[in-house]
Chain A
């Protein structure tokens, strides 16, 4: 008779043995998609201007980025918004051709015409600096240019 009274109380524990598998899967996804920034910024992260008529930059390996903005090391470089960073150091417009030629060495010859230079400049930078860069780019025939912007609200 006592056999009938033996009722199991409480919920059975949920099997969580597969949880690590799921988490690992997610982990690997993020590990693979993560791209670490290979250059450390010597200037303060530029606050990009916003625009609506923008195009996506494709082929990341063919893009070389020039940063323009305020130097982090204000004692050495002043507080102006017109410092140029190439690779990982502060440079002058005169260094731009070398920078572009270096970047060209890394890609095959057929891809050189598709190389794009992306200028990430702070809103408060002045056009003069950008023009200096542009003239230097023209000297080395790096004609594809992209002014990096945020996606702005349409108005």
Chain B
């Protein structure tokens, strides 16, 4: 009683099945990397907190109304011009900066290339950008404004980084992320240096509401 050979299973259509599954997963896969404008919120102030008195000239006021129009330092402005205005304000360097945490007195901004006007900001680390928007402002406009302000900082940081380290700040940051070991420490120091030279101080004022 010899056993009969089992007939071979035809595997010709296996590829078809696999292709079908493959195409299904190809279509459903989304490889989107989540990205966005990152922001660090300030901590909730204690109830008896008194806000520090800040000189008017160190505040760059941006107002957005409910019709998505911009009012910058009391003047109407287009979103496209905001970057230049912000650069001019941050880079002014008209006075001395904030004293260091260890008590060292503040120094004048020696890397600023602005007009050093008396009526504009003293130092990049004192320059505060305050964005006030209406409750009815469109979110898209709000993001556009934030983006323009961040662009201004990027321009300034790139400029300083080019002068000090011969490469753009954006490249510096990338190198810092990719580097390993002792290089990382070195790049970290450089990144921190640029960051503290032009700190991003953008505050969101409580929105106004007409109703």
Contact = CB atoms under 8 A, between A and B. Distances in A.
Ranked nearest first, the 5 interchain pairs of A and B with the lowest CB-CB distance are A128-B135, A123-B140, A53-B150, A30-B25, A148-B36
A107 interface: no
A95 B30 CA distance: 29
B135 A34 contact: no
A49 B43 CA distance: 27
Contacts, number: 151
A79 interface: no
A60 interface: yes
Nearest to B133: A127
Given A34-B25, A131-B135, A54 B36 contact: yes
A30 B137 contact: no
A20 B14 contact: yes
Interface string B30-53: 110111111111111000000000
A138 B44 CA distance: 6
B139 interface: yes
Interface in A74-125: 116, 118-119, 121-125
A135 B154 CA distance: 28
A24 interface: yes
Interface of B: 11, 14-15, 18-19, 21-22, 25-26, 28-31, 33-44, 64, 133-140, 142-144, 146-147, 150-151, 154, 204, 206-207, 209
Q: For this complex, into which size category does the number of interface residues on chain A fall?
A: 35 or more
Interface of A: 16-17, 19-20, 23-24, 26-27, 30-31, 33-36, 49, 51-57, 60, 63, 68, 116, 118-119, 121-131, 134, 137-139, 141-149, 151-152
Contacts of A125: 138-139
B63 to A, nearest CB: 12
A141 B44 contact: yes
Contacts of B142: 127, 130
A113 B21 CA distance: 41
Nearest to A142: B41
Given A23-B15, A143-B40, A147-B146, A118 B34 contact: yes
Central interface residue in B14, B28, B143, by most chain A CB within 10 Å: B143
Given A63-B34, A148-B35, A30 B26 contact: yes
A55 B39 contact: no
Contacts of A146: 34, 36-39
A60 B22 CA distance: 25
Contacts of B35: 54-57, 148-149, 151
